[in-house]
Amino acid sequence: MEGSAGNHEVYPQFLDFIPKEREWLVNRDGQRRHGPSEEKELELRLGPPGDQDWSMRDSTRKNPGDKSESLLSLGYFSSMTQNISNGSQNQMFSASENPVGAVISSPWSSSAYGYRGKTLHNQQQTKVPSFLQLTSPLQGLPVVAHEASQRCCTEAVDIQGAEKKAFSPSSATTAVPNSSQKRTAPGPVVGWPPIRSFRKNLASGSSSKPAPVSQNRVPDKVASRTPVETCRKGLFVKINMHGLPIGRKVDLKAYDSYEKLSSAVDELFRGLIAAQQDSCPAGNQNKQEEEKALTGLLDASGEYTLVYEDNEGDMMLVGDVPWHMFISTVKRLRVLKSSELSALSLGSNKEEKVRH
């Protein structure tokens, strides 16, 4: 589509509003198509803000015969709607055209959702006479839900409809004016309620509450983010090896004894150490020891020793306390050169810790 000038077919109403130059002013008396069965054309004037020139104001405010004021009223308002033509009441929800599909039994939700997919042509409006009287009783304040237009884009409307459908009450059988609006769990709408991701899932404290399902194409990567990454299935702690810049992670729940942990550590790093020694220019004499096993991790008898950092930040020798106690306090593991052990301050030198 190229330019506005050529869009005569698509925007007949705008052609009149938008001359070739960038003037948007509209002749106030023009353009009014005021047939009884036509919708009201809204005169638009591009002026400074505050220019209350919306011509509808002056028009058929009290013109009940004008069928263009076809307001959709909801069942509960039928007794209060004085301004609407009766014929419109049957247009409630326009179920056949409504992309949401099902007749939504609760009157409240549909009014918010009945607009999907409609175009300009079907927008209708009227003036509520007493709009400035805030304390006046609400006379004939219909909630206007417009008929849905023919689907101009089925795909788009379906997407939108799917969202809305998810939110409409599924099991409310009668349109009861129940203030608490009991309904089964409504499906999640993207970005609603408007709270940040890090505020979600607080009540349960865990991820048991469903995070909102994103309807976007883009995966909603933040929805499942929790501030603390506690994995209930395993206890993954970092393990760094002396001399290796890249650490690993081990799942301590996979082991039930120090021996198993030790052999696991051995397997993890054995290959990496050998690879590093191969690349080390000064390590030629170690080449024949291709994959030297890491032994003696637990008793400082080997070349390397296993230590850990506990929940108080202290470095401790692995193996002193029962396994279950170790599991509950360990935060990370390190494999150090045994020769460097004495240089570090080990927690066992401090006051006796009996806490778990």
Q: Does 161 bind other proteins (CB under 8 A)?
A: no
Q: Does 175 sit near other proteins (CB under 8 A)?
A: no
Give yes or no for residue 300 binding other proteins (CB under 8 A): no
Residue 351 binding other proteins, by CB under 8 A: no
Other Cβ atoms less than 10 A from the Cβ of 311: the count is: 11
CB of 279 to other proteins, least distance (A): 24
Q: How far is the CB of 113 from other proteins (least distance, A)?
A: 7
Residues linked to residue 251 through DSSP beta bridges, in sequence order: 236
179 binds other proteins (CB under 8 A): yes
Binding range to other proteins, per CB under 8 A, among 60-68, 185-193, 265-273, 300-308? 185-193
Residue 208 interacting with other proteins (CB under 8 A): no
Is 160 a binding residue for other proteins by CB under 8 A? The answer is yes
- Does residue 182 touch other proteins according to CB under 8 A? yes
For other proteins, which residue of 27, 82, 207, 216 counts as binding (CB under 8 A)?
Answer: 216
Q: How far is the CB of 10 from other proteins (least distance, A)?
A: 6
Phi-psi domain of 181 (left: phi exceeds 0; alpha: psi -120 through 50; beta: other):
left
* Shortest Å distance, C-beta 110 to other proteins: 8
Binding-site member from 177, 271, 283, 322 for other proteins (CB under 8 A): 177
By CB under 8 A, the count of residues binding other proteins is: 104
Contacting other proteins within 4-63 (CB under 8 A): 4, 7, 10-11, 14, 17-18, 22, 24, 42, 44-54, 56
Closest approach of other proteins to the CB of residue 199, in Å = 6
C-alpha triplet 87, 91, 94: angle, nearest 5°: 165
Residues 108-147 that bind other proteins (CB under 8 A): 108-109, 111-113, 115, 117-120, 123-125, 128, 131-132, 134-135, 138, 141, 143-146
Q: Tell me the per-residue interface mask from 74 to 113 with other proteins, x by CB under 8 A, - otherwise.
A: --x-------------------------------xx-xxx
- Residue 209 or 260 having the CB closest to other proteins: 209
Identified binder of other proteins from the candidate list 102, 152, 275, 346, rule CB under 8 A: 152
